[in-house]
Structure 1
């Protein structure tokens, strides 16, 4: 993991905790990655797909979902919400004017509201989970 930015942070996430969360998500019939329909990320043309599991429609104060990035994709966005992304599979790089962080399985990236970020997938693509606060509008899905 490389960290060069002071505003976008990537931190290791406990492998055991991540595995427990992943197992719980996949064992809980109410919240699984199979239950969410991944659709092209709003406002862009890249092969980046997202799907919310929990959002305002469920009465939640946050949005929780999954994201899938095809290989070699890039998305630049001004963050309208505070966003935490957990990389579940492969690697991503997140860049701002201040620098770039790279994160792989078990690492989290924090992207604060108001920051303009560019998210890039590597050769393998990537699969992520995300949490936003407040719920992102319009809701993905």
Structure 2
């Protein structure tokens, strides 16, 4: 396909982190034939997720306010703004408000994480009910 359209309501499988109100859904992944991953994230206000980014990532905030705490300080974005994360950065994702965002990663975040020393972090996620 040369052009596709996605909405968060059309995402087929959502994954939840532990018992937190953090949900992620890929809409473009390593099985799609694309060179990057694209997905949606939903974070309830106050939720935090420590992570090591093993890929480049752009977070496009579509609603709410979201902070990424990194080694050089914190960056906060609101709806219509973007946070860019460089590969090999230890971060904490923080929802300052109920937030929905779009993530874009290169290369594919899941395959890159699975092949890294950070693979154990994936154990925190399960398919949402």
Normalising by structure 1, we get a TM-score of 0.71
Report the Cα distance in structure 1 between the residues aligned to 2:15 and 2:46, rounded to whole angstroms: 18
After the TM superposition, which parts of structure 1 deviate over 3 Å for at least 4 consecutive aligned residues?
Answer: 138-141
Listed as ranges, the gaps of 5+ residues in structure 2 are 115-124
Cα RMSD after superposing both structures = 2.0
Q: Secondary structure at the match of 1:58?
A: coil
3-state SS of the aligned residue for 1:56? Answer: coil
Partners of 1:38 and 1:61 lie apart in 2 by 21
* Aligned match of 1:39: 15
1:59 match: 33
Aligned residues: 110
C-alpha displacement of 1:39: 1.6
Superposed, 1:1-141 pairs within 5 Å as 30-36=5-11, 37-41=13-17, 45-122=19-96, 124-138=97-111
1:125 shift after superposition: 1.5
Give the conservation status (yes or no) of the 8 Å contact 1:84–1:110.
Answer: yes
- SS at structure 2 position matched to 1:137: helix
Matched position secondary structure for 1:57: coil
1:79-117 Cα offsets, whole Å, 9 max, x none, are 111110000001011111211111000000001100001
Gaps spanning 5+ residues in structure 1: where? Answer: 1-27
